[in-house]
C-alpha cells in the first residue's frame, strides 16, 4: 500500500460519511502496531464506533487496546466538546444580557460548525503536544478536519466585534467568537497539517462517480490551503472474481470500473491504493487485519439468509404525497446517498399520475435535463448553478451591507462571505423563488440546505427576520422558512443508505431539522442490497448486515419509510425512474 510507505508521525483519514474512514484508520493503526511500533488512534468522528470495532470501552481518555500490543486509542466526544465550548462562550452572558440575546447566541452555536471547531479545539492539543511523540511513533486520526474547518481557522481575528456589530451575515463564523485566545496553538496545528514531513493526509473514497467528484472538490479545497500532497485510497471496490456470475454483481463491477476510468483529473495524479470489498463487517481485530492484507478474506460459500420482512416501496410514499394534489417536497441527506435520483423518481411518478410538477436541483452532474426534459407533459425542470448563485449573493451583500463599511470592514465582510455556509444560503435563496409555486403544483427540491444552515437562516435573521422587520407584525406574510416549518405545506424526506455511518448521519440531520422547527415526514433507504436479492455470496453476506440497520430506522427514527433496491443499471430516464417505485422480483436462483 502506497499510503503506508515512509509514514510521517501524523496520519489523517478524511472523506465523506460511509466511505470507510474509521475502518481504514483502525486497520492502519493495527498494522503499524503489529510491526512493533507504538501507535495512538484518535477518533474525532461524532458517530465514532472504534470502541465497537475493538470490543472495548474507550471514551475521552487514552486506553490501551487489549488485543493489540502497542496500540492505544482515544475517542474525542465532539458533542461534549461542543457543549463545553458553548458554555465557555455563552456562560459569561447569562444574567448580563437579555434572555432573548442569550438564546440567539445559543442558537448560533448549535450547528455543525460549532461541533467541528470544538472537536478541532480538542485535538489541536494532541497535534501540538510534543510529549505525545515521545510516547508514540505514530498518531492516527479518524477523521481529519475538513478544508472547511481549516479555512475558518485561517480567517483573520477580531470576528467577535465584527459579528456583534451586525456587519457579518449568516455564516459559519459565529462559532469563531471564542477562538482568539488560542490562535497561536491553532496556527501551530495548521502548520503541522500542511507539512508533509509531519503529516500524511489520506483521502478515502468509493469507486462511485458522485463520491469521486466530492473527493476531487475536497482535494482542490485542501490544496488551496497548502495541503498539496494527499494520497487516495479507494475503499470497498468489488473485485470481478467475486461476481459469481450474478448479473447484479457484474453490473456493480462494470459501474465501478466506468467511474474509475472517468476519475477527475485532480485525483488521477495522486498516489492510489485500492482496497477490495470484503464480505464481513469490519468489527474485531481479525477482520481489521484482513482489510489491508495481501490475501483478504473470501466470501463464505454458504448463502447468507437475506429474507426481508415486507418493506414499503417508494410508490407507497408517492401515493401518500399525491393525495395532497400539490405542495413542497424537499429531499435531504449527506452526499452520495442518491438524493438527486430519489427527487427525480418522485417527480416523475407524481407527473405520471397527471400532477403538475416542478423539479429543481443544484446537482452539478447535469444529467436530469437529458433524461427527463419534455418526457412528461406535466413535468418541468430547472437547475440552479451553485457557483453563479453564490457569486450573485456575495455581490448583493457587498453592495448593501458593505456600502457603509470602511476598507477593513469590507475586507472582513468579504472573508465572511467566503465561509462554507454562504453557498448553501445562496442556493436556498434561489430555491425560495420557486417555493411559492407549491401552492398550485408539486415542487420537488434537490438538494436542500443542511439543518445547520436552516438554523442559521432563522436564528441570525438572514431572511426570515429581515422580512418580519420590513413587513411589520400586523401584515400577513409567509417566508420560505415558515413554509418549511408547516407540515401542511412541506414534506421533508431524508435519504440514506443501509450502512452504519449514513444512518447515524441521517439521524443527526433529523435532530438538526427538529431544532429548526422542521419535522421530517419520512425516510428513504436507497440502494438496498437485501431488497435486490443478489446471488453472489459476497453481496449476500453484505445484504445480511443491512437488516439490523433497516430495523433500527423503523424502530428509532421514522415509522414512514421506503426501501429502494440497488439497481443493475443507473436509473436514468422516465421508465427506469418509474420502475424504482415498485416491487422488484427476486433474481432467479
Instruction: Point out the residues of the chain with pLDDT beneath 50.
Output: 156-163, 170, 365-366, 370, 373, 459-467, 470-471, 477, 585-589
Same structural domain for residues 187 and 332?
A: no
Same structural domain for residues 478 and 376?
A: yes
Same structural domain for residues 218 and 255?
A: yes
CATH number of the domain where residue 268 is located? 3.40.50.300
Same structural domain for residues 234 and 282?
A: yes
Q: What is the pLDDT of residue 550?
A: 93
Smallest CA-to-CA distance from 150 within 14, 316, 295 is with: 14
Q: Model pTM? A: 0.78
Is the C-alpha dihedral spanning 576, 580, 583, 585 positive or negative? positive
The enclosing H or E element of 212 equals: helix 209-224
Rounded-to-integer distance, Cα 37 and Cα 29, Å: 9
Q: What is the pLDDT of residue 146?
A: 59
Same structural domain for residues 264 and 323?
A: no
Which single residue is written with the C-alpha cell 455543525?
Answer: 112
Beta bridge partners of 456: none
| Domain final residue pick, 260, 291, 322 | 291
Asked, for residue 425, whether it belongs to a domain, the answer is no
Asked, for residue 428, whether it belongs to a domain, the answer is no
In the chain, the number of structural domains is: 2
Q: What is the pLDDT of residue 461?
A: 40
Asked, for residue 424, whether it belongs to a domain, the answer is no
Q: What is the pLDDT of residue 163?
A: 45
Smallest CA-to-CA distance from 342 within 316, 314, 363, 319 is with: 314
Q: Across the chain, which distance is largest between two alpha carbons, in Å? A: 73
Same structural domain for residues 286 and 363?
A: no
DSSP per-residue string spanning 330-387: EEE--TTS-HHHHHHHHHHHHHHTT--EEEEE--TT--HHHHHTTTSTTEEEEE--HH
Rounded-to-integer distance, Cα 207 and Cα 21, Å: 14
Same structural domain for residues 92 and 240?
A: yes
Q: What is the pLDDT of residue 107?
A: 65
Same structural domain for residues 214 and 82?
A: yes
Q: What is the pLDDT of residue 340?
A: 86
Same structural domain for residues 231 and 85?
A: yes
In the β-sheet with 490-497, what is the strand arrangement from edge to edge?
A: 379-383, 357-361, 442-445, 327-332, 490-497, 522-528, 561-565
Rounded-to-integer distance, Cα 473 and Cα 453, Å: 25
Asked, for residue 306, whether it belongs to a domain, the answer is no
Q: Which residues are catalytic?
A: 18, 20-23, 45, 501
**Can you tell me whether residue 521 is helix, strand or coil?**
coil
Q: What is the pLDDT of residue 327?
A: 94
Same structural domain for residues 232 and 342?
A: no
Q: What is the pLDDT of residue 462?
A: 43
Same structural domain for residues 230 and 326?
A: no
Domain hosting residue 53, numbered range:
2-291
Task: Give the Å distances, CA to CA, from 141 to 68, 89, 123, 327.
Answer: 17, 27, 9, 45
Amino acid at each position: 500500500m502506497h499510503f503506508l510507505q515512509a509514514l510521517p508521525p501524523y496520519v489523517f483519514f478524511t472523506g465523506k460519511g460511509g466511505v470507510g474512514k474509521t475502518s481504514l484508520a483502525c486497520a492502519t493503526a493495527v498494522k503499524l502496531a503489529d510491526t512493533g511500533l507504538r501507535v495512538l488512534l484518535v477518533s474525532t468522528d461524532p458517530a465514532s464506533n472504534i470502541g465497537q470495532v475493538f470490543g472495548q470501552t474507550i471514551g475521552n481518555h487514552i486506553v490501551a487496546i487489549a488485543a493489540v500490543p502497542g496500540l492505544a486509542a482515544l475517542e474525542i466526544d465532539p458533542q461534549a466538546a461542543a457543549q463545553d465550548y458553548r458554555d465557555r462562550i455563552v456562560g459569561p452572558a447569562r444574567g448580563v444580557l437579555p434572555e432573548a440575546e442569550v438564546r440567539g447566541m445559543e442558537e448560533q452555536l448549535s450547528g455543525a460548525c460549532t461541533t467541528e471547531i470544538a472537536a478541532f479545539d480538542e485535538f489541536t492539543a494532541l497535534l501540538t503536544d510534543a510529549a505525545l511523540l515521545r510516547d508514540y511513533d505514530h498518531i492516527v486520526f479518524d477523521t481529519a478536519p475538513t478544508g472547511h474547518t481549516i479555512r475558518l481557522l485561517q480567517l483573520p481575528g477580531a470576528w467577535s466585534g465584527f459579528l456583534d456589530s451586525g456587519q457579518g451575515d449568516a455564516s459559519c463564523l459565529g462559532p469563531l467568537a471564542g477562538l482568539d485566545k488560542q490562535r497561536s496553538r491553532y496556527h501551530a496545528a495548521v502548520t503541522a497539517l500542511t507539512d508533509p514531513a509531519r503529516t500524511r493526509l489520506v483521502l478515502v473514497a468509493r469507486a462511485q462517480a458522485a463520491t469521486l467528484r466530492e473527493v476531487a472538490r475536497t482535494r482542490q479545497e485542501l490544496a488551496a490551503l497548502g495541503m498539496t500532497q494527499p494520497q487516495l485510497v479507494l475503499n470497498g471496490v468489488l473485485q470481478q472474481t467475486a461476481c459469481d456470475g450474478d448479473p447484479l454483481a457484474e453490473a456493480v463491477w462494470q459501474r465501478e470500473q466506468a467511474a474509475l476510468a472517468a476519475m477527475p483529473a485532480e485525483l488521477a495524479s495522486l498516489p492510489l491504493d485500492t482496497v477490495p470489498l470484503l464480505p464481513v463487517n469490519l468489527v474485531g481485530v481479525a477482520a481489521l487485519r484482513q482489510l489491508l492484507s495481501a490475501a483478504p478474506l473470501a466470501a463464505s460459500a454458504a448463502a447468507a439468509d437475506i429474507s426481508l420482512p415486507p418493506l414499503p416501496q417508494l410508490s407507497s410514499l408517492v401515493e401518500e404525497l399525491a393525495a395532497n394534489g400539490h405542495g413542497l417536497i424537499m429531499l435531504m441527506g449527506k452526499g452520495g446517498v442518491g438524493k438527486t435520483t430519489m427527487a427525480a423518481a418522485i417527480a416523475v411518478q407524481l407527473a405520471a399520475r397527471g400532477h403538475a410538477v416542478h423539479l429543481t436541483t443544484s446537482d452539478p452532474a447535469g444529467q436530469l435535463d437529458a433524461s427527463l426534459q419534455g418526457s412528461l407533459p406535466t413535468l418541468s425542470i430547472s437547475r440552479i448553478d451553485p457557483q453563479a448563485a453564490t457569486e450573485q449573493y456575495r455581490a448583493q451583500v457587498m453592495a448593501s451591507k458593505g456600502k457603509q463599511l470602511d476598507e477593513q470592514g469590507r475586507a472582513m465582510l468579504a472573508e465572511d462571505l467566503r465561509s462554507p455556509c454562504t453557498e448553501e444560503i445562496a442556493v436556498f435563496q434561489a430555491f425560495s423563488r420557486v417555493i411559492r409555486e407549491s401552492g398550485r403544483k408539486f415542487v420537488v427540491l434537490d438538494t436542500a440546505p443542511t439543518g445547520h444552515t436552516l438554523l442559521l437562516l432563522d436564528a441570525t435573521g438572514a431572511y426570515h427576520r429581515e422580512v418580519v422587520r420590513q413587513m411589520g407584525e400586523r401584515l400577513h406574510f409567509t417566508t420560505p422558512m415558515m413554509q418549511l416549518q408547516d407540515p401542511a405545506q412541506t414534506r421533508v424526506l431524508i435519504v440514506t443508505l443501509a450502512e452504519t455511518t449514513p444512518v447515524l448521519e441521517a439521524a443527526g440531520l433529523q435532530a438538526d431539522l427538529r431544532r429548526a422547527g422542521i419535522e421530517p415526514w419520512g425516510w428513504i433507504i436507497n440502494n438496498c442490497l437485501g431488497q435486490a436479492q443478489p446471488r453472489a455470496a459476497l453481496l449476500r453476506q453484505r445484504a445480511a448486515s443491512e437488516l439490523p440497520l433497516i430495523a433500527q430506522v423503523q424502530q428509532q427514527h421514522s415509522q414512514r419509510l421506503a426501501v429502494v433496491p440497488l439497481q443493475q443499471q443507473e436509473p436514468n430516464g422516465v421508465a427506469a425512474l418509474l420502475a424504482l417505485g415498485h416491487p422488484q422480483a427476486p433474481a432467479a436462483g
